[in-house]
Amino acid sequence: MNRIKLNHLKITIDTEDGLFGTDISFKEGFNIIRARNTKGKSSTINSILYVLGLEEVLGGRNAKTMKPVLKDKLSFKGREVAIIGSKVQLEISNHRGEIITLTRWIKSQNKDEKLIRVHYGPKLSREGNFSFKDFYVHMKGAAIGNAGFHTFLSSYLEWELPEVPTFEGGDRILYLQTITPLYFIEQIKGWSSFYSPISGSFGIRDLSKRAFEFLLNMDVTKNAKEREELKVIKALLSNKWSALKREVEELAVSISAAIPNLPANPITLDNLSLTVYNDDKVLVSIFDRIFQLEGSIKEKENYGVVAISEVASQYEEKVKEQELLVLQLQNEINYIRQDLLLQRNNQISMGENLKKLELDLKRNQEAEKLYKLGSDIDSSFSKGICPTCSQAVADSLLPAETSIQPLDLSENITYIKEQINTLKFGIKQSHTVIQNKQSNLAVIIEHLDNARRELRLYKSELNSNPRLPTKKELDELVRLKILINKLYDASSTFEKIETRFKVIVSEWKDYLTRQEALPKDYFSELDKKKLTYFEKEFLSLLDNFNFSSINTNEITLSYDKYTPIVSGFDIKFDSSASDNIRLIWSYVITIYKASQNFSGNHPGLMVFDEPGQQQMAVKSQKELFRVLSQTKGQSIVGTSLEPEEIKEMTENYNLNIIDLGEEYIIKPLTQ
Amino acid sequence: MDLPLDEIEEINFNRKKIPISPELRPIYRISQIILVMELSSTMKTASLLKLQLFNWGLQNEERYERLFKLKETKDFPIIRFDPFLNRALNYGVAMQVFSFNVKTGKFSLTEKGELLAQKILKGDVFSKEKVFLKTIKKSLSDKYILQLFKERYPS
């Protein structure tokens, strides 16, 4: 498929002496532009680059790349003529047969040199009003913006320019200019290397390789890009997945769910699930658990919960009962406490009495002893006889008038002892009584506390909203609701996570599909075929062109640089000057052929300005003309051969010879 | 309570002997006086005031302390002049264990009394009283007691 065909080139120069210029019609296939040296042949050919906005191949931008003859002054009949204005026009058609005419001014009062006007029609071939649109080159966005001429041109040529890596690290579109050196060999720099460097820093890495790959439509460019992209996608997906994993785990921890053991790679997981423990400590899915809890809550709300209003009368009855009970118990306690106090006092006084009695006993016993002691000295008292009157007298210091008959001392002692025994018994009894009363008191106090607690509970419930469920039921309901709300939150979070999970899985699948589609090696099978074909064709053309410096058997194509190498080394461009030219012929033509053979992106146009450099053998040039004439694409060769030589060399060949004569090509235009 | 008074033909009353405090027994009180004279009196002679004071003091152990600190506090206690003491002294004089000096108005221990005193000191009686009297010794003389008494109750 030949994407472009040049139909008509017209250079118009406005001078003080009227209009000058030239008008060239190209044909399909092989075209030879023949002119004498230094008569403006290269200027004319290079104007093609200018009108296409590709003049950077010439080592600059805009009109300064054009020769003075096209913008300052021209020689005519031995004198100089000043140029007022000039423009180049080119009528081209594409593979779809759409014809457009491009106009770019070289020198103009009112037209910017960056402007390229596109007329939608064969403006140079026939008269007519064609609509037009202005585009720009060498401005930011020229290649990608809407007003960019190259954006327009690449869509016109159906070129999808790839994004290629730059030195700065990002990607940039492969500019149209950068492809040009592989099909347009201009006279000055074009013959010095396979890919003559172009001016303007595009910052694109391995520019010549990318251009080569583009023309052959090789997979590597997009594969390399794809690899880069996949690497980024994988990192992104892994990140997303591990973030998701962490979220699931945190969620699981927050609701005491089973912590899922998630794989490093989501694709191996059919679906994500979150399981929690139910009441029986069995793991169930969170949704089942919620369903079950909802059931429990509904049940409780509808039937299970006993409302206070239903039990109010019962509670009031209970309150009364309870109040009575509390009162009774209170009374009982008061009574027991009083009793206890009395008992204790009684016990204390008994104890004091006992002490007194014991002292009394002791003293009585002492008195008894004293009597025995005294009887040795005076027997009167021990016998109850008065020491003065020797009459019977009571054993007492009490006056006789009191008529009190005291007990005998021994009887007195017995009496006291009995008293003591009685008291001791009394104390013991009292002790037991106190103990019993105390334990009784403790029991009743406990009863009272319970009764009071129940009374409080009943009262507080009666005070509450009568429609409310009882406190106990309410507690349980609240617990369940808190739990279910927590689970609702968790499940909605989980659903979001699940959605994201599905997205990640599908993205991961996409990633794997793309990864699968990538060739294992750097070159795809098709790329390898193309390169093999290229090498074969290239070497066969070299043979055809009588390349002789090196045995072509030793030449291979470097898969690294896409240039020919000899035993691993670049072919030196100083071996034989004419052989270098042959290398370039072969190289440029093989690119076209390879592209043609494998549906590449070659524009289908080859331009060689002065291929007969370095005293090229006529035989070789003739062979070039033959090859070009048999090539389907359009080729334009600029040459300064004599018309007879051309005729001789191109005998029987199908070609279009444009002989521009012996004089300057730029000459007065005949209206 | 309803008594079957109609059926009762006669009522007999028998006087019952009643128990009395040992301090009301003559020999107990006489022995106490003997100990005061023997252990805490110069020349085994004591005035009635002194005997009344000690008689009060020996009633219970809390009063011991008051007597111990009498010289410090100079606080003559309100004592009960016990008639039973006087009666005991009478009995003692009759028994000839005490002698009463009409001139001085003081009671002294006789030989017979001294004999009884020795027996009481050896006997297993009045153990706490003996310790108290042996501790306070003869520090409170009749003269000092009288002087203190007069200061407390002038007129």
pLDDT tens digits, one per residue of B62-80:
899 989 888 888 888 888 8
Write down the residue that tokens 């003739």 correspond to.
A622
Q: How far is B88 from chain A (nearest CA, A)?
A: 7
- Residue of chain B nearest A414, judged by CA positions: B19
Which tokens hold the place of A75? 């020689």
Which tokens hold the place of A583? 């290398």
Tell me whether residue B5 is in a domain: no
How far is Cα A217 from Cα A272, in angstroms, rounded to an integer? 43
What was the pLDDT predicted at A642? 83
3-class DSSP state of B71: helix
What was the pLDDT predicted at A227? 80
Chain A contact probe: residue of B27, B100, B130 with most A CBs at under 10 A: B27
CA A548 remoteness from chain centre: 59
Which tokens hold the place of A511? 């990633």
Q: Give the residue numbers spanning the domain of B80.
A: 23-152
- Which helix or strand (DSSP H or E) is residue B134 part of? helix B127-136
- The answer to whether the CB atoms of B22 and A387 lie below 8 A apart is no
Q: How far is B151 from chain A (nearest CA, A)?
A: 32
How far is Cα A160 from Cα A44, in angstroms, rounded to an integer? 29
pLDDT single digits (tens) B118-145: 989 998 889 889 999 999 988 899 999 9
Contact B50, B111 (CB under 8 A): no
Please give the backbone phi and psi of residue B30, each rounded to the nearest 5 degrees, phi first.
-65, -40
- B65-71: long-range pairs with CB below 8 Å, 24+: B67/B132, B67/B136, B67/B140, B68/B135, B68/B136, B70/B140, B70/B148, B71/B139, B71/B140, B71/B144
- The answer to whether the CB atoms of B28 and A366 lie below 8 A apart is yes
Tell me whether residue B139 is in a domain: yes
CA angle (A39, A44, A47) in 5-degree steps: 150
Q: Which residues of A touch B87 (CB under 8 A)?
A: 397, 399
How far is Cα A555 from Cα A289, in angstroms, rounded to an integer? 76
Q: Which residues of A touch B94 (CB under 8 A)?
A: 386-388
Q: How far is A445 from chain B (nearest CA, A)?
A: 41
| Among candidate residues B26, B37, B9, the one with its CA nearest the CA of residue B99 | B37
| Among candidate residues A156, A148, A162, the one with its CA nearest the CA of residue A212 | A162
List Cβ neighbours of A207 (8 Å cut-off, separation of 6 or more).
A178, A195
Q: Which residues of A touch B16 (CB under 8 A)?
A: 405
- Residue of chain A nearest B111, judged by CA positions: A377
Which tokens hold the place of A468? 């409310």
- The total domain count for chain B is 1
Residue A121 is classified by DSSP as S
Residue A487 is classified by DSSP as H
Tell me whether residue B14 is in a domain: no
| Whether ipTM exceeds 0.85 | no
Average pLDDT for runs of 10 along chain A of length 671:
85 84 86 82 86 84 80 80 87 88 87 85 82 81 66 84 78 81 83 76 78 82 78 84 83 73 69 73 78 81 60 78 88 91 92 91 86 76 70 76 80 91 90 85 85 82 65 76 84 84 84 81 81 86 80 80 80 71 86 84 86 77 83 86 82 81 76 50
What was the pLDDT predicted at A598? 83
3-class DSSP state of B45: strand
**Which value, to the nearest 10 degrees, does the dihedral of the CA atoms of residues B55, B61, B62, B67 take?**
50
- Cα distances from A239 to residues A264, A271, A274, A504, in angstroms, run 11, 19, 21, 10
Contact B107, B12 (CB under 8 A): no
Chain B contact probe: residue of A360, A366, A389 with most B CBs at under 10 A: A366
3-class DSSP state of A179: coil
| Among candidate residues A268, A247, A243, A271, the one with its CA nearest the CA of residue A259 | A247
Contact map slice: A 390-409 vs B, CB within 8 A: 395-399, 403-409
Tell me whether residue B134 is in a domain: yes
Crossing angle for the helix pair A577-597 and A207-215, to the nearest 10 degrees: 50
Which tokens hold the place of B147? 């002087």
- The answer to whether the CB atoms of A416 and B19 lie below 8 A apart is yes
| Among candidate residues A388, A382, A392, the one with its CA nearest the CA of residue B96 | A388
- Which helix or strand (DSSP H or E) is residue A443 part of? helix A409-463
Q: How many Cβ pairs within 8 Å bridge chains A and B?
A: 102
3-class DSSP state of A530: helix
What was the pLDDT predicted at A309? 64
Q: How far is B123 from chain A (nearest CA, A)?
A: 8
Residue B18: which of A371, A373, A404 has the nearest Cβ? A404
Cβ burial A364-386 (10 Å sphere, 16+ → b, else e): bbbbbbbbebbeeebebbbeeee
Tell me whether residue B7 is in a domain: no
Tell me whether residue B11 is in a domain: no
